[in-house]
Chains A and B, each alone.
Chain A
């Protein structure tokens, strides 16, 4: 029996707006609120709400055989709360079927796992754990780090924070000759299991769902199943990690039809079933230990040299975490919230010359023209943040006012 585990990722970052050095120390917001709201409204209305309904019907139709997991980033949760809170009902309905898992991550899709301070990382995991439980009614059992970042240290901390399993990207650098289609456990820490995203199948299915040409997509789907057959029969676990937006958007109906064909075809084959990670880790025993000290990761849409990163990324990350100790003394919720958002990995992706923003001409939303622009902008924001932090720490009452809405959510 082959267990296919489908993961849908939902992530919306808090995009920064253009922040000039003249703005350092001024009360200008760091965030491009218009763009953030536009994107989240569009995603929820045109994708998440209708697709959740579609998925719910499909789950009922197959009577408990269709199972999927959701990995919803912490910043996406924030944005749902701010702009479209009704989406939670929709996700709760899915959760109530018992066929849907919600995985845990870090607060604000952050790169905190790379920071020196382990406490910060643990706190970040705890925040995400608590919030996932609060909003979706499930205690997460699988840890999906931002960008699927993984190394031995990260596995260790995930285990310490109460996770029995972690998902990461099945790339050659860690697997070598081994197959991603097994359950592994971490080197020297057998209590934490490791699941690998099957890179090939995930990319193929993404391409199929993204193909606007229906006929061609159906052909590709046929090929996809042929490829599935090629996998040796004793490899039991296939983790397919997809962006949830692939099931919605402009050609929603067509995409849903395509997904339905995928599911129908899937159930026509006897040797396959859908499964959830929380069941997989109970049903299977790890086949061997595996581990790496060099972080591995995955970024959607481009191959990033992000970890350990280029000079600019390294510098920005170092400058960011230099401020850690200054945060310890403050209780200002505005500052804490900005601090969390500053750690989102998306800002650092933009400091990579391979970022799609710098290659496709069609990207209207791209506000930076090069990684240098992105770095300069981020460093300006960081400088401004540091100024506020210093002022706060000197007990000078100088606090730019931010949306009050945010604060309430973060106090949960």
Chain B
């Protein structure tokens, strides 16, 4: 079967977990000879990773305008032509700054003899909503020019494009929800994004979510019937190089790591609280916040206020190899997320022989056992676990060994199999 898949990013050009997950899904599906995936991204950079039976389509290489004769037939298709510079990850302060900077409007189309092409940045920039709307316009063309039986789209950025493709082709639509705006914003949702999400979810024939946590979110906040939703947990790429853990300069120094965007969703202030409590009681423990985000300065101020700045460190944004190195140096990884749809980093930490503490408010906590789980707000429990794991070598050893074994089973084979089942069931239902 041919699948038309819409994504927003594809490795190595990624800014979050979405691209990695998309790649894992496509790679897992490529094991099946009878599945052929056309993966659409707004802009390809030419250096994308490849897989069997995968064709990468870059939306900025698609000429539009030749199929206008089709458009009038589908007058019920509506697009989100929003002139806005709002983006999902910005706060009002930063928004106004960007607004001042970008007064000059760029030309977004280029016309050649073959037709008009739309430029995409493929990033989460200030004209994100424009790009999403434009993506949907191009999606129509792609849907007309390609043969496929199913549409599969990842997260709200691609929903309008996928819905447009469904309307023009009449093919069944699967939406894959990796996160909702409630998770990203910590509850302060952007109504526009919510509208896009809700509209897409209503149009979908089937919805795949990455955890039961998201499932109940969709039924409770988006009023989606639960029989339309199926939970398929993410997998993780098997790590090939399992080199021995690097010993620190001295055995005495221990490092506790936070890895992720420093935003309200990730619960950084709980990490500082834990650090404060542990540092009061234990010597030679250092806490590292790896990543960047709008709350960084507030967290820095907090650490100064608590008087722990000598043992509380920031690394700034880390790229792939730097993340690996950071994990290799860590004695403990904490993910105190307030709301985490899935959370792939704990699994990476487990692969890197690091014991892990995660909040119960994460999707991944439904899946794995060999970690310590606490509520994100229960900083006492978290601090206690930090102390216990750092103090008792045997405990940390057992967690590392059993965790590694557990995570080694979580590859993409099982999720891909489940996705294939969803495809087949949907096509069977359509046929009957």
Query: Please, which residue of chain B has its CB at the minimum distance from the CB of A353?
Result: B369
CA distance A213 to B372 in the complex (A): 39
A201 proximal to B (CB < 8 A): no
Contacts A315-B394, A380-B384 given; indicate if A370 touches B277 (C-beta within 8 A).
no
**Minimum C-beta distance from B370 to chain A (A):** 8
A312 in contact with B395 (CB, 8 Å):
yes
Residues from chain B with Cβ under 8 Å of A312 in the complex: 394-395, 398
B281 in contact with A21 (CB, 8 Å):
yes
CA distance A353 to B392 in the complex (A): 18
Within 8 A of B (CB), among A7-27: 18, 20-22
**What class of interface size applies to chain A in its complex with B?**
10 to 19
Residues from chain B with Cβ under 8 Å of A57 in the complex: none
B399 in contact with A372 (CB, 8 Å):
yes
Residues from chain A with Cβ under 8 Å of B380 in the complex: 20, 22
Residues from chain B with Cβ under 8 Å of A315 in the complex: 392, 394-395
Query: Please, which residue of chain B has its CB at the minimum distance from the CB of A358?
Result: B369
CA distance A20 to B398 in the complex (A): 21
Q: Which of B371, B373, B388, B399 contacts A21 (CB 8 A)?
A: B388
**Minimum C-beta distance from A382 to chain B (A):** 10
**Minimum C-beta distance from A12 to chain B (A):** 26
A376 in contact with B394 (CB, 8 Å):
no
Q: Interface size on B (CB < 8 Å)?
A: 23
A375 in contact with B374 (CB, 8 Å):
no
A310 proximal to B (CB < 8 A): yes
B168 proximal to A (CB < 8 A): no
B334 proximal to A (CB < 8 A): no
Number of cross-chain contacts by CB at 8 Å: 64
B369 in contact with A376 (CB, 8 Å):
no
Residues from chain B with Cβ under 8 Å of A353 in the complex: 369
B387 proximal to A (CB < 8 A): yes
**Minimum C-beta distance from B279 to chain A (A):** 13
B388 in contact with A375 (CB, 8 Å):
yes
B374 in contact with A379 (CB, 8 Å):
no
- Per-position binary interface string of chain B over residues 160-176, scored 1 when its CB falls under 8 Å from any chain A CB and 0 otherwise: 00000000000000000
B372 in contact with A370 (CB, 8 Å):
yes
Interface of A is mostly: helix
A311 proximal to B (CB < 8 A): yes
B395 in contact with A21 (CB, 8 Å):
no
A376 in contact with B281 (CB, 8 Å):
no
Within 8 A of B (CB), among A298-333: 310-312, 315
CA distance A312 to B397 in the complex (A): 10
Query: Please, which residue of chain A has its CB at the minimum distance from the CB of B278?
Result: A21
B385 proximal to A (CB < 8 A): yes
Query: Please, which residue of chain B has its CB at the minimum distance from the CB of A372?
Result: B372
Contacts A20-B380, A22-B281 given; indicate if A376 touches B397 (C-beta within 8 A).
no
B383 proximal to A (CB < 8 A): yes
Residues from chain B with Cβ under 8 Å of A21 in the complex: 281, 383-384, 387-388, 391
CA distance A113 to B379 in the complex (A): 38
A369 proximal to B (CB < 8 A): yes
Residues from chain B with Cβ under 8 Å of A216 in the complex: none
**Minimum C-beta distance from B163 to chain A (A):** 37
Within 8 A of B (CB), among A336-390: 353, 358, 369-370, 372-373, 375-377, 379-380
CA distance A317 to B395 in the complex (A): 13
Query: Please, which residue of chain B has its CB at the minimum distance from the CB of A378?
Result: B388
A375 in contact with B387 (CB, 8 Å):
no
Residues from chain B with Cβ under 8 Å of A20 in the complex: 380-381, 383-384
Contacts A22-B277, A353-B369, A379-B392 given; indicate if A373 touches B398 (C-beta within 8 A).
no
Q: Which of A18, A369, A376 contacts B395 (CB 8 A)?
A: A376
Most buried by B among A310, A376, A379: A376
Residues from chain A with Cβ under 8 Å of B388 in the complex: 21, 372, 375-376, 379-380
**Minimum C-beta distance from A146 to chain B (A):** 24
Residues from chain B with Cβ under 8 Å of A369 in the complex: 360, 372-374
Residues from chain A with Cβ under 8 Å of B395 in the complex: 312, 315, 372, 375-376, 379
**Minimum C-beta distance from B356 to chain A (A):** 10
CA distance A21 to B360 in the complex (A): 21
8 sample A-B contacts, Cβ–Cβ < 8 Å, listed by A number:
A20-B383, A21-B281, A21-B383, A353-B369, A370-B371, A372-B389, A372-B395, A379-B392
Please name the 10 residue pairs, one residue from A and one from B, whose CB atoms are nearest each other, closest first. A376-B388, A315-B394, A21-B387, A20-B384, A311-B398, A372-B372, A369-B373, A21-B384, A20-B380, A312-B398
Given A373-B381, A373-B385, 10 more pairs with CB closer than 8 A: A20-B380, A21-B384, A21-B388, A312-B394, A315-B392, A358-B369, A375-B388, A376-B392, A376-B395, A379-B388
